[in-house]
Amino acid sequence: LCHFPPNDSINPSQVLFFGFGWLFFMRRLFKDYEVRQYVVQVVFSVTFAFSCTMFELIIFEILGALSSSSRYFHWKLNLYVILLVLIFVVPFYIGYFVVSNIRLLQRQRLLFACMVWFTFMYFFWKLGDPFPILSPKHGILSIEQLISRVGVIGVTLMALLSGFGAVNCPYTYMSYFLRNVTDSDILALERRLLQTMDMIVSKKKRIAMTRRQMYQRGEDQNRQTGFWGMIKSVTSTQTGGENLSLIQQEVDGLEELSRQLFLETVLVQATKERIEYSKTFQGKYFNFLGYFFSIYCVWKTFMVKFWSQHISFILVGIIIVTSIRGLLITLTKFFYAISSSKSSNVIVLVLAQIMGMYFVSSVLLMRMSMPLEYRSIVTEVLGELQFNFYHRWFDVIFLVSALSSILFLYLAHKQAPEKHMAL
Amino acid sequence: MASLDRVKVLVLGDSGVGKSSLVHLLCQNQVLGNPSWTVGCSVDVRVQDYKEGTPDEKTYYIELWDVGGSIGNASSVKSTRAVFYNSVNGIILVHDLTNKKSSQNVYRWSLEALNKDSSPTGVIVSNGEYDREQFAENPVPLLLIGTKFDQIPENKRNEVLTRTAFLSEDFNAEEINLDCTNPRYLAAGTSNAVKLSRFFDKVRNPELYGIFLSLSLQVASFTDRKRFNFKSLHYD
């Protein structure tokens, strides 16, 4: 069955996806960093390109574009490449860059990177034990072994994110939850912040002055000789030193306060901007979408199986686009929050790994949303996995994640007005 | 003989370039042992003697306000940071010599700080884009400091120094390239120490800076400056 298909619109689109991934990397993720290791950028773009191609193939499946043998060939090719990248390339490079950052191990980088990779493979393999994901007729070295494990990790991730998203989406967009923030609140906070900074400055000036006086007196003391001179020098530096440590403690406390005030001000500013945004036309539009999608998320939990081809195509398309967009936005925020110039390479590779596993599992789960006639290709390509297990696993983790998010947001929301009133 | 005047200097730059290490070096004359992320703004005080040994001897306390960039650049963070930009006497712009993007972002930082300056002689930049002429008339003295100088390999040094020279020309400011973990760079008598004390003199003494400005403008109008296309240094 390995013949080259006659008409091929997959390859240009793959190049397009690769270009998009490349641009996203350069313009968004690595906006403030210099790309020194181009392999990271290439790996990220390749992962993105092949993941998007998988979605494209699903669309083609539903639309009936290209010949079925051509689609089958591309599915298989795509799958092999993605698995190769997710299981061999990305984990190896993650290990390599982590090891490169540690000075002690830098000499034997390759050796340690291989060791890390073997450790990863061990745990990856062990993942198959507690889950009933394979039927006994699969051999040890079959592709199902790899996909099933990737599927477990990816599905867990998806369920966690979806559960949180389903709860967070209505919370964020509905005006009901927004606290009332006025300009005077912000001004009051800013005034407190500046007052705290001024206090820190005056105390640090005192410390500097005291140190200088101690230093000068110390020089004078050296000139004083004799028994009394010695006693004097001991007592005066002691009181000077005690004063200093007292003031220093006050400064430490004030600095901690200034940090908290700064973060509080940022939070209040962000809330005010969100309120203003919700009053604009764009804000109202997304508000409406928020209502719509929260209802959709609830509906999805009950798994309604009433689909026709057009609806399934549109909805699958929307799911794909919003998942990709949502994932990229979340990953970007995450990246900005935790990266530094040293760790940026590692973090991007970790994000590529998450993205790849996420997309592979989307395909797995999407199978259930597709009408029976389109499921066959997915079953054929991915082999006979226990798809039902994945759906049950998704539902369990989704519910756990959604309930935890509700609890978490409720606690956070409850604490906030009290803090607000204390100002 | 402590001075009563208040002298405030901002220290701005991307996250991770070494502002906290630099401020610690300038104020405590020591290397910072455990740098960590700066949340919000951290202030330190530098003691500077002026006209030592003369009857006019004065001790100045220069406040160095290190405004951290580590929380990100969301508009809520930017509006909060703007609180620290009031009544500023001088700005130190810090960039990482091993990271080109941080050098480009220095334009953005200077615009952010100068736009928010509420003093009556503050510069108003209308369209948010960098304009060299406005920097020439800017009343707030600037100083450019490049960090991690020791991490540049020998063969790349010239390229980096050329780049920073154009930066300092654009800002009409002096530049110092150093390594914050080595106090030797700012030891008394080095050209860096001289540049530093000249900068602090300008900060303390706005009339002196005004004279310097008008002189440099006259010189500039008579010389033919060969200019590298600085658009390539522009922030994206």
Residue A422 lies in a domain: no
Q: What is the mean pLDDT of residues A50-66?
A: 77
Question: Which of A199, A211, A262 best tests the B interface by mutation, with the highest count of B CBs <10 A?
Answer: A262
Residue A227 lies in a domain: no
Structural domains in chain B (count): 1
**What residues of A are in contact with residue B83 (Cβ under 8 Å)?**
190, 193-194, 265
| pLDDT at residue A233 tops 60 | no
Alpha-carbon span B230 to B236, nearest angstrom: 12
Q: Are residues A335 and A367 in the same domain?
A: yes
Q: Is B104 in CB contact (< 8 Å) with chain A?
A: no
| pLDDT at residue A139 tops 70 | no
**Domain-terminating residue out of A269, A294, A319:** A294
Q: Is B99 in CB contact (< 8 Å) with chain A?
A: yes
Q: Are residues A82 and A144 in the same domain?
A: yes
Among A34, A205, A269, the residue with its CB nearest the CB of B101 is A34
Q: Is A407 in CB contact (< 8 Å) with chain B?
A: no
Residue A151 lies in a domain: yes
Alpha-carbon span B18 to B35, nearest angstrom: 8
**What residues of A are in contact with residue B84 (Cβ under 8 Å)?**
194, 197
Q: Long-range contacts: B52-61, Cβ < 8 Å, 24+?
A: B57/B1, B58/B1, B58/B3, B59/A212, B59/B1, B59/B2, B59/B3, B60/B3, B60/B5, B60/B7, B60/B200, B60/B204, B61/A205, B61/A208, B61/B2, B61/B3, B61/B7
Residue A299 lies in a domain: no
Whether the predicted interface score ipTM is above 0.85 = no
Q: Are residues A193 and A169 in the same domain?
A: no
- Total residues belonging to chain A: 423
Inter-chain CB proximity B99 and A258 less than 8 Å: no
Q: Are residues A68 and A21 in the same domain?
A: yes
Instruction: Compute φ and ψ for B44, nearest 5 degrees.
Output: -145, 165
pLDDT digits (tens, 9 = 90+) for A332-342: 766 766 666 66
Query: Which of the 8 DSSP states describes residue A65?
Result: -
Q: Are residues A151 and A246 in the same domain?
A: no
pLDDT digits (tens, 9 = 90+) for A270-323: 878 877 776 777 666 666 665 666 566 555 545 544 445 555 556 666 666 666
**What residues of A are in contact with residue B98 (Cβ under 8 Å)?**
34
Residue B236 lies in a domain: no
Structural domain containing residue A205: 181-220+238-294
Inter-chain CB proximity B43 and A337 less than 8 Å: no
Residue A263 lies in a domain: yes
Residue A230 lies in a domain: no
Q: Is B71 in CB contact (< 8 Å) with chain A?
A: yes
Give Cα separations from B40 to A164, A192, A200, A365, B106 (angstroms): 29, 14, 14, 44, 19
Q: Is A23 in CB contact (< 8 Å) with chain B?
A: no
- Closest C-alpha among A163, A75, A90, A168 to residue A355: A90
**What residues of B are in contact with residue A34 (Cβ under 8 Å)?**
98-101
Inter-chain CB proximity B40 and A340 less than 8 Å: no
Q: What is the mean pLDDT of residues A230-234?
A: 62
Inter-chain CB proximity A32 and B14 less than 8 Å: yes
Strands (E), A268-392: none
Distance from CA of B137 to the nearest CA of A (A): 29
Question: Which of B45, B84, B103 best tests the A interface by mutation, with the highest count of A CBs <10 A?
Answer: B45
Which H or E run includes A270?
helix A226-279
Q: Is B66 in CB contact (< 8 Å) with chain A?
A: no
Distance from CA of B224 to the nearest CA of A (A): 33
Question: Which of A197, A248, A264, A334 best tests the B interface by mutation, with the highest count of B CBs <10 A?
Answer: A197
Token pair 């996250």 is at which residue?
A: B15
For residue A197, the model assigns a pLDDT of 92
> Is A402 in contact with A94 (CB distance < 8 Å)?
no
Q: Are residues A94 and A210 in the same domain?
A: no
Inter-chain CB proximity A205 and B45 less than 8 Å: yes
Inter-chain CB proximity A201 and B76 less than 8 Å: no
pLDDT digits (tens, 9 = 90+) for A365-396: 766 666 666 677 667 666 666 677 777 888 88
CB atoms within 10 A of CB A311: 11
Residue B230 lies in a domain: no
Inter-chain CB proximity B45 and A208 less than 8 Å: yes
Inter-chain CB proximity B43 and A193 less than 8 Å: no
Q: Are residues A172 and A23 in the same domain?
A: yes
Q: Are residues A286 and A328 in the same domain?
A: no
Q: Is B179 in CB contact (< 8 Å) with chain A?
A: no
Give Cα separations from A244 to A70, A321, A413, B163 (angstroms): 78, 60, 41, 44
Please name every residue paired with B147 in a beta bridge, in sequence order, or none if there are none: B96
Q: Are residues A59 and A142 in the same domain?
A: yes
Q: What is the pLDDT along chain B (236 residues), one digit of tens a residue?
A: 333 468 899 999 888 888 888 898 888 888 887 777 777 888 999 888 776 666 677 778 889 999 877 666 677 888 888 888 888 888 999 998 888 888 888 888 888 888 754 443 444 444 444 555 555 556 688 899 998 888 888 888 888 888 888 888 888 788 888 888 888 887 777 888 888 888 888 888 776 666 666 666 666 555 544 443 333 333 33
% chain A with pLDDT above 70: 63
Instruction: Compute φ and ψ for B153, nearest 5 degrees.
Output: -65, 155
For residue B172, the model assigns a pLDDT of 79
Amino acid identity for residue A142 in this structure = S
Structural domains in chain A (count): 2
Distance from CA of B215 to the nearest CA of A (A): 35
Give the CATH number for residue B29.
Answer: 3.40.50.300
User: Angle at the Cα of A357 (from A368 to A409), degrees rounded to 5?
Assistant: 80
**What residues of A are in contact with residue B45 (Cβ under 8 Å)?**
201, 204-205, 207-208
Distance from CA of A58 to the nearest CA of B (A): 37
Distance from CA of A42 to the nearest CA of B (A): 20
Distance from CA of B221 to the nearest CA of A (A): 35
Q: Helix, strand or coil for residue A132?
A: coil
Residue B15 lies in a domain: yes
- CB neighbour burial string for A120-142, b if at least 16 within 10 angstroms, e if fewer: eeeebeeeeeeeebbeeebeeee
Q: Are residues A149 and A202 in the same domain?
A: no
Please name every residue paired with B2 in a beta bridge, in sequence order, or none if there are none: B59
Q: Are residues A163 and A186 in the same domain?
A: no
Residue B226 lies in a domain: no
Residue A193 lies in a domain: yes
Whether the pTM exceeds 0.80: the reply is no
Residue A300 lies in a domain: no
pLDDT digits (tens, 9 = 90+) for A150-202: 888 888 887 787 777 777 766 665 544 566 777 888 899 899 999 999 999 99
Q: Which residues contact A353 (CB under 8 A, 6 or more apart)?
A: A47, A86, A90, A91, A94
Q: What is the mean pLDDT of residues A221-248?
A: 64
Q: Are residues A265 and A188 in the same domain?
A: yes
Q: Long-range contacts: B225-232, Cβ < 8 Å, 24+?
A: B225/B169, B228/B166, B230/B132, B230/B166, B230/B170
Give Cα separations from A77 to A7, A74, A83, A137 (angstroms): 16, 5, 10, 24
**What residues of B are in contact with residue A341 (Cβ under 8 Å)?**
16, 96, 99
Residue B46 lies in a domain: yes
For residue B135, the model assigns a pLDDT of 55
- Report residue A421's pLDDT band, with 50, 70 and 90 as the boundaries: very low
Structural domain containing residue B40: 6-205
